[in-house]
């Protein structure tokens, strides 16, 4: 019997903002099934494009954005995950700063918006499950890679980094050990500058040393950022 | 235009044996393209089976074995990876003890054998690339999970664990720090028993404490086994 399985891609684009915490980019579907439901941006792969090209095209078409760096998350292939016919979905994920993007719904999507991962609407298909898997992956990644340095300002008070980590973790961050561990690795530099935010004492600024970080990585270092 | 992309699965089954090191399970193809070439076991997904069922069925059909635990590795989707038509492949990987398996080539395969990862034959399609990605993943996993405790005897001298790690790593294992780190976590117990192998002093035996290990995991522990 001829195979009748279609291939799609879906994108889990996480946004981090110090005020809003972590959010995920969603669109509303224009067509059945799940018409008007919130869903992840995504769609069928064209015959001549790579999976990466497909996910970038869909993000452009449905949300009006270009996301440079997406990583493959997982391929979801349960036979009944789409009510129309069998579709496997190769899901991608990434982490960006929402304020760097101007959203605009286009073909196939009626609306597009960021939703806090703590207040997600009901999602189409198995997209809630896909988002959950992506959150777990991101949390796992936090432990062995300083994810998200790109999400902070070039120079930042240490509390901004703590806040980023805390907003992604499901448990309380052990702040003291976190700082000790991260400073020990030597890829984060304490600067001679401070910043005054609101009342209270000025906060010392820090800066990520990318060169040092990649040196450590190349030497096979595995970071373990928590206790 | 109708999508004409097919979905297949491929299995990278690694074997570990203290004498032979790390090997990978390969089959020879019965049909064109790449007839008589060595390749990973795998094939097209049937319309009504899950991806996991497909990879298990293919391993049974082509190598005569059941591998209980396979994890999804990555989905390979370059448009030209198959000379016939476009096929994306969802690859799975796992690590087993070759001596637990009796191989037998069946439908679609002419021959089946274990090959040392250090002496791989020329492989069909992009299978060499898939094996490389799987080796990298396994190496990465070694650093944050005590992979492969299932591969050793229930009680083993510490040198067996070192040998397992060394056979998978591309750099020299820092034996002193490795032992210090692993013992600090507390999921490996030194027993009051020793073993005599060949000449020389008897070697102390160790045992993996799974209960302790899963307790640590549940508490969000991230292992970092090297320096």
Q: How many Cα atoms occupy the beta-carbon half-sphere of B167 within 13 Å?
A: 22
**B220: pLDDT confidence band, cut at 50, 70 and 90?**
low
pLDDT in tens, chain A (227 residues): 789 999 999 999 999 988 888 999 999 998 889 999 999 999 999 999 999 999 999 999 999 999 978 999 999 999 999 998 999 999 999 999 898 888 887 766 789 999 999 999 999 999 999 999 999 898 888 777 777 777 888 899 999 899 888 888 878 888 888 898 888 888 899 999 999 888 888 999 999 988 888 888 777 666 666 53
Residue B225 lies in a domain: no
Query: What pLDDT score was predicted for residue A107?
Result: 67
Query: What is the DSSP pairing of strand B203-208 with strand B155-157?
Result: antiparallel
Do A83 and A130 reside in the same domain of the chain? Answer: yes
Same domain flag for A138 and A151: no
Of A75, A79, A226, the CB nearest to B90: A75
CATH classification at residue A205: 1.10.10.10
d(CA B205, CA B203): 6
* Residues spanned by the domain of B95: 6-142
Structural domain contains residue A171: yes
Reported ipTM: 0.88
Please indicate, yes or no, if residue A225 is contained in any of the structural domains. Answer: no
Final residue of a structural domain among B142, B172, B201: B142
Residues A40 and A83 in one domain: yes
B160 with B100, same domain? no
Looking at the fold, whether B45 and B96 belong to one and the same domain comes out as: yes
* Residues on chain B touching A6 (C-beta within 8 angstroms): 3, 5
* Chain B residues touching residue A71 (CB < 8 angstroms): none
CB contact under 8 A, B45 and A3: yes
Q: Is A178 found in the same domain as A95?
A: no
pLDDT in tens, B34-83: 999 999 999 999 999 999 999 999 999 999 999 978 999 999 999 999 99
Chain A residues with CB inside 8 Å of B5's CB? Answer: 6-7, 45, 47
Same domain, A11 and A102: yes
- Is B1 among the domain residues? no
Put simply, the answer to whether B79 touches A48 (Cβ < 8 Å) is yes
The reply to whether B109 and B65 lie within a common domain is yes
Is the residue at A224 inside a domain? no
For residue B35, the distance in angstroms to the closest alpha carbon of chain A comes to 22
Query: Residue A50 and residue B79: Cβ atoms within 8 Å?
Result: yes
**3-state SS track over chain B:** CCCCCEEEEEEEEEEEECCCEEEEEEEEECCCCCCCCEECCEEECCCCCCHHHHHHHHHHHHHCCCCCCCEEEEEECCCCCCCCCCEEEEEEEEEECHHHCCCCCCCCEEEEEEEECCCCCCECCCHHHHHHHHHHHHHHHHHHCCCCHHHCCCEEEHHHHHHHHHHHCCCCCCHHHHHHHHHHHCCEEEEEEEECCCCCCCEEEEEECHHHHHHHHHCCCCCCCCC
Q: Specify the higher pLDDT residue, A212 or B116.
A: B116
The backbone torsions φ and ψ at residue A76, rounded to the nearest 5 degrees and listed phi first, read -100, 120
B4:A50 CB<8 A: no
Task: Please answer yes or no on whether A75 and B79 come within 8 Å at the CB atom.
Answer: no
* Residues of chain B contacting residue A171, judged by C-beta atoms under 8 Å apart: 220
User: Of B142, B174, B208, which one is at a domain's C-terminal end?
Assistant: B142
Q: Tell me, what's the pLDDT at A217?
A: 75
Please tell me the total count of domains within chain A. Answer: 2
Residue B75 lies in a domain: yes
- Is A45's CB within 8 Å of B144's CB? no
For residues B12 and B118, state if they share a domain.
yes
In a domain, A57, yes or no: yes
Confidence at B107, pLDDT banded by 50, 70, 90:
low
- Is beta strand A71-76 parallel, antiparallel or unpaired with respect to B42-44? unpaired
Other residues' Cβ atoms within 10 Å of the Cβ of residue B159: 15
Long-range (24+ apart) CB contacts under 8 A made by B48-51 are B48/A79, B49/A79, B50/A77, B50/A78, B50/A79, B51/A75, B51/A77, B51/A88, B51/B9, B51/B90, B51/B92
CB spacing of A5 vs B4 below 8 angstroms: no
Domain end point (choices A89, A108, A142): A142
Chain A residue closest in CA terms to B226: A222
Residue from A184, A220, A223 whose CB has the most chain B CBs within 10 Å, to mutate: A220
Segment B162-204, tens digit of pLDDT = 988 888 887 888 888 889 888 888 889 999 999 988 888 899 9
Q: Identify whether residues A46 and A100 lie together within a single domain.
A: yes
Check whether B96 has a pLDDT greater than 50: yes
Residues A22, A103, single domain; the answer is: yes
Residue A226 lies in a domain: no
Are residues B44 and B122 both part of a single domain?
A: yes
* pLDDT at residue number A49: 96
| pLDDT band (50, 70, 90) for residue B227 | very low
**Domain CATH code at residue B119:** 3.90.79.10
Option in B47, B88, B226 nearest A86 (CB): B47
pTM above 0.80, yes or no: yes
């Amino acid at each position: 019997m001829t195979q009748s399985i279609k291939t799609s891609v879906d994108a889990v684009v996480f946004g981090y903002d110090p005020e809003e915490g972590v959010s995920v980019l969603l669109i509303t579907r224009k067509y059945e099934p799940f018409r008007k439901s919130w869903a992840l941006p995504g769609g069928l792969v064209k015959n001549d494009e790579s999976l990466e090209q497909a996910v970038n095209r869909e993000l452009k078409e449905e949300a009006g954005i270009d996301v440079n760096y997406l990583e493959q998350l997982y391929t979801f292939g349960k036979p009944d995950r789409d009510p129309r016919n069998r579709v496997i979905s190769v899901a991608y994920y990434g982490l960006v700063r929402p304020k760097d993007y101007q959203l605009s719904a286009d073909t196939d999507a009626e609306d597009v918006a960021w939703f806090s991962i703590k207040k997600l609407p009901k999602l189409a298909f198995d997209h809630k499950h896909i988002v959950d898997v992506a959150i777990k992956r991101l949390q796992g990644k936090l432990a062995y890679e300083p994810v998200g340095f790109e999400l902070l300002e070039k120079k930042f008070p240490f509390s901004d980094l703590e806040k980023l980590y805390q907003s992604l973790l499901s448990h309380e961050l052990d702040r003291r050990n976190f700082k000790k561990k991260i400073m020990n690795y030597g890829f984060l530099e304490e600067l001679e500058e401070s910043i005054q935010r609101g009342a209270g004492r000025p906060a010392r600024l820090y800066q990520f040393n990318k060169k040092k970080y990649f040196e450590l990585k190349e030497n096979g270092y595995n970071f373990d950022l928590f206790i």
